[in-house]
Copies of this chain bind each other. A is one copy, B any other.
């Protein structure tokens, strides 16, 4: 199996976190899947991902005090494998796990993904629970000094055969459910350990091996960021996506900051290897967090975000509730000209970046497609100019507006509103 073929283009889909936090339920997942099948599937969106703590009883019920309730009841089977909370996911009853829900999603022509925390439940280690097919117990493979700094559920797993057997058993179960995508958390940057931020390196390898052994093509996505540049080769070898930023939200400084992250990671975008800019906070977000709102991003900022994500080649995971998208939201997400850039054949490259301006190119090998994006990163309208572009005479198509422009002698100049962009394809 070659993990680079599991997702030949950057994964596109929806993730429950930005809207539901820890609280999403089966009905809500299905409704979002329905909405995706109806409106977004034709444009390439296909993953429906259930984010954190689907296994935790009462998740979200003490939101004023805790995002994740400490020492709360986690559903699991006899082999320490977490199971969906049957209150929220009734179809999981009887040990069926996410099988029925995955079937539903597959029935719509979509793919099904889940979030996991790296490691093994702390409760399982404390109770010396069994590992499938091994004499060792959870107490033997759990590393009591390896925890997540922000979620209380798990211990990291030690390197070794027994630990691998645990991960193998996990993936075997997920494969039997029909899982297509795993977002594993507290693994890309184990930020509790500032001097060893990639302390779970061996768990990435174990997950990768377990995926290979399970026989199902499961995309592996690593969180949270920022991913570590010096570990780029390792991510590339073992994972499909890795988060290059801490949680991204609808806040301009975070978006502006993404330009430097994308600059650093651009050389690592390849088929099957996607540095990940995180979810798109578009439409309605924040309900589970107690801050239900329409995205704080202006339309200009939303275009800037979509343009950067697509040209750079980031996965496109929608964070907003799909059933509440309005026309403008949908048109933003489904502009086929813009989405055409989301292709590993397009090589992204930042031409220039200052406090005020960013210029990016995307070019296909040979005589292929060519794109230019110009971003006004400043807080005022200004002229943005690029030069030294493709020589000769060309016609450019602005992808958001459909307007055309001439490119002469490789120079172009535009007046652009604050936080806005222009993105052109060379059409002639």
Contacts and interface: CB of A to CB of B under 8 A. Distances in A.
Q: Choose among A70, A147, A194, A232 the residue with the greatest number of B CB atoms under 10 Å from its CB.
A: A70
B147 A152 contact: no
A144 interface: yes
Nearest to A228: B229
Contact of A139 (B70, B194, B230): B70
Interface in A144-170: 144-145, 147-150, 152
Contacts of A350: 233
A268 B230 CA distance: 13
A349 B273 CA distance: 15
Contact of A125 (B70, B142, B147, B230): B70
Interface string A253-271: 0000000000110111000
Nearest to A234: B263
A70 B350 CA distance: 37
Size category, A interface: 20 to 34
Contact of A145 (B128, B152, B232, B268): B152
Contacts of A128: 71
Contacts of A148: 145
Contacts of A195: 194
B145 A147 contact: yes
Interface in A99-145: 122-123, 125-126, 128, 139, 142-145
Contact of A126 (B71, B139, B142, B192): B71
B139 A145 contact: no
Interface string A213-230: 000000000000000011
A221 B421 CA distance: 35
Interface of chain A, main secondary structure = mixed
A110 B125 CA distance: 41
Contacts of A150: 145
Contact of A71 (B125, B145, B263): B125
A233 B359 CA distance: 13
Contact of A142 (B71, B143, B268): B71
B139 A71 contact: yes
Contacts of A126: 71, 122-123, 126
Q: Choose among A123, A126, A149, A150 the residue with the greatest number of B CB atoms under 10 Å from its CB.
A: A126
A234 to B, nearest CB: 9
Contact of A194 (B125, B149, B194, B233): B194
A232 B125 contact: no
A169 B263 CA distance: 32
A417 B380 CA distance: 42
A200 to B, nearest CB: 16
A230 B233 CA distance: 15
B144 A267 contact: no
A268 to B, nearest CB: 6
A341 to B, nearest CB: 19
A96 to B, nearest CB: 27
A264 B144 contact: no
Interface in A276-293: none
B145 A264 contact: no
A136 to B, nearest CB: 12
A124 B350 CA distance: 38
Q: Choose among A123, A142, A148, A230 the residue with the greatest number of B CB atoms under 10 Å from its CB.
A: A230
22 contacts: A70-B142, A70-B144, A71-B126, A71-B128, A71-B139, A71-B142, A71-B144, A126-B126, A144-B147, A144-B152, A145-B148, A145-B152, A145-B192, A194-B195, A229-B230, A229-B264, A232-B264, A232-B267, A233-B263, A233-B350, A267-B267, A267-B268
- Per CB-CB distance, the 9 closest pairs between chain A and chain B, nearest first, are A144-B152, A71-B139, A229-B229, A70-B144, A126-B126, A267-B267, A230-B264, A233-B263, A71-B125
Given A145-B149, A267-B268, 10 more contacts: A70-B144, A71-B128, A71-B144, A126-B126, A145-B192, A194-B194, A194-B195, A229-B229, A233-B266, A233-B350
